[in-house]
Amino acid sequence: MNEVGTVAIIVGILTSAVRLATPYLYAAIGEAFAQTSGVVNLGVDGIMLVGGFAAFLVALTTGSLWLAVLAAAFVGVLMGLLMSLISVTLKAEQGISGIGLYMFGLGLSSLLFKVLVGTVKTVPGFPTVKIPLLGDIPYLGPILFQHSVLVYGAFLLVPVAWWFLEKTTWGLKIRAVGQNPAAADSLGVDVNRTRYFSVCLGAALAGIAGASLSVALLNLFQENMTAGMGFIAVALVYFGGWRPLGILGGALLFSAVDAMQLWMQVLGVKIPSDVAVMLPYLLTIAALAFATNRTRQPAALNVPFERGSN
């Protein structure tokens, strides 16, 4: 293979990586909000599916892409309310309720897709927006500055989420109820309301993550189209040590592996596609085993709050 070809391939892989990081970023940063407040929401994959379908349906029927994203966020919030009701108000085991939410979202999105759409259709998704000047930089331009709005949004979300969690009163409250809910409660922070807010905010972002697949990256909807991306997003939160910047690094690493296996198949590298598809999942397990910084884990993660019990 000549040198120009190699460079083109590397640029191609990196461009795909940046694109593919988008759903991971929305979903994982959303999950980070929920987990920082002390709630593990394992239903992310289900929320992504319902959100992705809502966005697809709205785009298909109205043609308005922004309305589609709004719809995804809205159904995300509804799913978040359901999760909060079960795990915050009714204080159910968070792991199992999350799996219930996942099954509910998976089933509901399949049901609605089959009844309302039926066959695989495509929608005109968000167009590629080339940022003036920056987009013309050789190599770097196509990798970073020739994407759709939702891709830019995902990367902008990283500093915004950091600022929100670290520098605002709301962020402080969220961190407080995740670290020491009893202390937060004694200082007048409404623990359950803060958790509802964080879970719903995270779920809205998970909905948008689904929308980024159905109206920006793939421009179609299929049953179970996320194929476990939501679970990888939850793993990324552990991997990233509950920090937006760490999550960004993890998301890029995963999307790079994903992009590489896609490109290997395109280029006909002699490796069975089944093995290639396994790679990101194997990497997730390895990352959970060897690269999780547990010292940063919110102390009250997975613990329902009850006055007087802790």
Partner 1 sequence: MSAEANTPSRRPVRRNRVNWQDIALRAALPLLAVAIALAVGAILLLLLGANPISAYASMVTGVFGSLSGFTQSFVKATPLLLVGLGICIAFRASVINIGAEGQIILGAVMGTWFALVFRTWPGWLLLPSTLIIGFLAGAAWGFVPGVLKARLGVNEILSTVMMNVIALQLMNLLLRGPLMDPAGVTAGTFLAQSERLPEQVWLFRPEWLRQTQLHAGALIAILMAVVVYIFLWRTTIGYRIRAVGLNPDASRYAGIPVPFYQALSLTLAGGFAGLAGIVEVLGIHHRLLEGITSGYGFSGIVAALFGGLHPLGALPASWLFGSLLVGADKMQRAVQVPSALIDTLLGLVVLLVVGSQRWSKRWAEQRQIAAETARREAKAAAGGQEGQV
Residues of this chain that bind partner 1 (CB under 8 A): 42, 46, 82, 85-86, 90-93, 95-108, 110-112, 114-116, 223, 227-228, 231-232, 234-235, 238, 272, 274-275, 277-278, 281-282, 284-285, 288-290, 292, 294
Of the pair 146, 261, the CB lying nearest partner 1 is at: 261
**Alpha-helical regions (H) of the chain:** 3-36, 44-62, 65-84, 94-112, 140-144, 149-167, 169-179, 181-186, 191-212, 229-239, 244-266, 273-290
Written as one letter, the residue type at 228 is G
CA distance 6 to 266: 14
> Taking the CB of residue 34, how many other CB atoms lie within 10 A of it?
34
Q: Which is nearer to partner 1, 42 or 150 (CB)?
A: 42
* The one-letter amino acid at 204: A
Is 15 or 94 the residue whose CB approaches partner 1 more closely? 94
Measured from the Cβ of residue 167, the count of other Cβ atoms closer than 10 Å reads 10
Q: 68 or 88: whose CB is closer to partner 1?
A: 88
Q: How far is the CB of 10 from partner 1 (least distance, A)?
A: 26
**Which lies closer to partner 1 via its Cβ, residue 91 or residue 130?**
91
Distance, CA of 93 to CA of 303 (rounded, Å): 8
CB of 8 to partner 1, least distance (A): 29
Considering the complex, what minimum distance in angstroms separates the CB of residue 224 from partner 1?
A: 10
User: Which residues, in sequence order, are bridge partners of residue 220?
Assistant: 122
Q: Residue 34 contacts by C-beta under 8 Å, 6 or more apart in sequence?
A: 40, 41, 198, 199, 201, 202, 203
By beta-carbon proximity to partner 1, the closer residue of 31 and 153 is 31
* Choice between 74 and 164, CB closer to partner 1: 74
Q: Least CB distance from residue 231 to partner 1, whole Å?
A: 4
Report in angstroms how near the CB of residue 306 gets to partner 1 at its nearest: 10
**DSSP-derived secondary structure for 193-241:** HHHHHHHHHHHHHHHHHHHHIIIIIS-B--TTTTTTHHHHHHHHHHHTT
For the CB of residue 45, give the shortest distance to partner 1 in the complex, in Å: 9
Q: Measured from the CB of residue 217, what is the shortest distance to partner 1 in angstroms? A: 20
